[in-house]
Chain A
């Protein structure tokens, strides 16, 4: 038998060993039962590999569900490096097809990751390229379905819509702003692999289907957008302008119907342009000195506050006013003489507005500037909105008040201007402008969420608004806005001409020509604003250069919207600057001798005495001294037609 001490110590030892075994068992229980879930999910992360399945991006529609941005299915190239047996050969073949360096492909194929892509070179391949690759039957090389974003109207909507990157992520414009709705949800093909990237044949893989993004329906009307784009392009080219910018808004609810500017870019090929152009949606991002267009707001404030009666109160324009030692002149040498305040507006008389500012006083003027929304961003649902620039209340002295009244020395955005102008003619309510009308579900194409018009505040009363409609119509019918007149529609508006400042200094001979107008004035359906920056080869006056553009836009837009012609507008007064317009009579069936007109000239074609056709047709409005084409023939030919 062994010694007693030894036996005791051996027993002690055995107890220690038992304690250690229990400790091990305890840790084992803890690991397998208590850490189970946590570690299992971590382990799954290690064992599971995911193959991403791209989600089709939500579409962008205009208000009538015409597609403005869509997806075209295509293929993108991926590789699972472990499965690529002959990396050199694979790299060589792919490099030839994709037109990249072999080393680039080889470097990717040698990466120790479960899956690699070939950046933009392997993304969104065209049909021919993907077919070539498919026919190589390369091991470990996969063509995965992807989507190419297509913008059918190219340069037309680019500044608003923006574009997406190689992974279909929104990078600019609405694509970026509404990324969370549009992007959808990537799907995944999850499968178990061993540590070397090989597939587990016996383990089931799991597919999580991608979810298409939510589509946007914009307030935009493609018909109006095309009209605006066309006119801005025309002005940009004709006048070799630095910039042109325009916006059409529905004054009844703040919906943007069209918004555009030049220069622009093609968002299908955004890489080919200088990135500085990407975020230039001028009516939103850019602020400028509004000039006389601002007078409409000053005028409304004075009427609302009963500081003027536009028809009976008069002002004598002697050609200038002196404010705090500064001489403010009228654009017409010697001034306009004695006028009613309506005529002050019609003639856009600066000294007249100095008087209006004096009557309003500092507090009221400042209050209205704030009420019309010129101290804040409008809060439109487009990124990068500019706030404009206005005096602080402390620095809003007499001279600042005077210049503000006629729109100088301050800076506003086009969207602020059209919103404020809308409130003048819509009954007095300032609406928050917006461009997204509804969110539309993928698949069922149902409206998930509709954006309701948001009234911010009442700015002027209904009565003032009615007076403003009349006053603004007078500006177009009788005043400085005559070039914007549209036969058959009641148009009201205000011209603007402001000297451009570069680096904070006014530059001689460079102007921002602008015009803001609403129509039809009996029931305004749209407000349109157009500006041309630094136009060349033309009269540097907003009314003269932009007026006709506004006229065409309003005419075409209202026709497009099937707005019926209106009578009973303010009678048009013609000046030497204007061409009178007369309707064409019917001449068909008449004898050649009967063809006479005091307004038009005629060109005859064909033989015979009877008129068998005429261009233009009866009822068309033509400017005085225009030419009408008359086709002559025999009586019988008319019958056969």
Chain B
């Protein structure tokens, strides 16, 4: 057992180092990508950098707090945690209580401190599923046993959709599906689920036709270059001119107001524009390494609960990475999902670091 312990602690140490490397690159790139807009909007080219540094600092603190928190403690109080999450998701929808940012009522808060209940819900739901899957592992052959968890999951997602926050909903749903995939549940359910998902997307498109435009524009962005294809084209105009080694540090042209808010969704485009295929590949490799370490951590987990929890957190993380990069290189339609650890954004960064901290907590039998 001790040998396993050493191994898993080594993987966790590696994962932590890679996380901080990516985070450092992120902080620099937030500054590099944002200072033009920052100066234009706030008269201060360091506005986003300063905030991102504060977020990163808080995130790192939360990371180390997470490392100290015992998972069995959380496991015990999971129902309470889930209840609080649901209450907050409900509160956010009450007019004048939820804060509206970027068209969505996703925030709760007083003064400078504000949080996104959906972020808390993510972790609560994953804890809940981890507990459920690990305690009912034998019964997970049939979908029947999943009635309550699936109901809770869909209800939560439904509340998030009301904000509306399509991106976060998709990420949570994907993470839950991945967790269920690693149970004993028969594969055919996933095939069925896949078609249900298609139906779900279809309904969403009917409810809000602008999503259909996004999807068609991703196939041929030049059809509507100033409308739905605009962001795709601007992203391509960053990525392709980058070439093999890029235009050089700080030489991006697209960050000069061509890409809207280049420090968030399209930060990877700026990375490729300035550092080329080489820079882009390094980022991809770093993420791949991080995923690898995390998969190893899951394999060597001491019990199912730990494994499922880690897998849930990893799923949240990698789904966002894959979707964001997919959008930037024009494989996926524009979704509004940021690049974890690199994109500008306080709440999501802090929660991510905190959850990685939980996942990487030191194990001593």
Give the interface of A toward B (CB within 8 A).
1-3, 5-7, 9-10, 13-14, 17-18, 20-21, 23-25, 27-29, 31-33, 35-36, 38-40, 42-43, 46-47, 192, 194-196, 198, 200
Contacts and interface: CB of A to CB of B under 8 A. Distances in A.
A46 B254 CA distance: 10
B240 A40 contact: yes
Contacts of A33: 243-244, 277
Given A24-B284, A194-B256, A10 B311 contact: yes
Given A21-B287, A194-B36, 6 more contacts: A1-B4, A2-B298, A3-B304, A13-B295, A17-B318, A29-B277
Given A6-B183, A13-B182, A17-B322, A28 B239 contact: yes
Given A17-B318, A20-B322, A39 B237 contact: yes
B244 A195 contact: no
B320 to A, nearest CB: 13
Contacts of A32: 239-240, 242-244, 272, 276-277, 280
Contacts, number: 113
B284 A25 contact: yes
B258 A14 contact: no
Interface stretch (B118-126, B212-220, B324-332, B353-361): B324-332
Contacts of A5: 184
Given A10-B299, A13-B182, A27-B330, A196 B244 contact: no
Contact of A10 (B4, B36, B182, B284): B182
Nearest to B280: A28
Given A28-B272, A32-B272, A32-B277, A42 B322 contact: no
B304 A2 contact: yes
Given A21-B287, A195-B257, A42 B295 contact: no
Nearest to B258: A195
17 contacts: A2-B298, A3-B137, A3-B304, A10-B307, A10-B311, A20-B322, A28-B272, A32-B239, A32-B242, A32-B277, A36-B241, A38-B240, A39-B241, A42-B237, A43-B240, A46-B258, A194-B257
Given A24-B325, A27-B330, A36-B240, A9 B280 contact: no
Q: Which 6 A-B pairs have the closest CB atoms?
A: A194-B256, A39-B240, A195-B257, A43-B237, A32-B277, A27-B329
Q: Is the interface of B mostly helix, strand, loop or mixed?
A: helix
Nearest to A24: B325
A39 B236 contact: yes
Interface in B18-60: 36
A31 B330 contact: yes
Given A29-B277, A195-B257, A10 B298 contact: yes
A8 to B, nearest CB: 9
A557 B237 CA distance: 68
Interface in B298-349: 298-301, 303-304, 307, 311, 318, 322, 325-326, 329-331
A40 B257 contact: no
A13 B178 contact: yes
B166 interface: no
B210 interface: no
Contacts of A2: 298-299, 301, 303-304, 307
B198 to A, nearest CB: 19
Contact of A9 (B181, B243, B292): B181
Contacts of B311: 10
B231 to A, nearest CB: 13
Given A28-B277, A31-B236, A17 B329 contact: no
Nearest to B301: A2
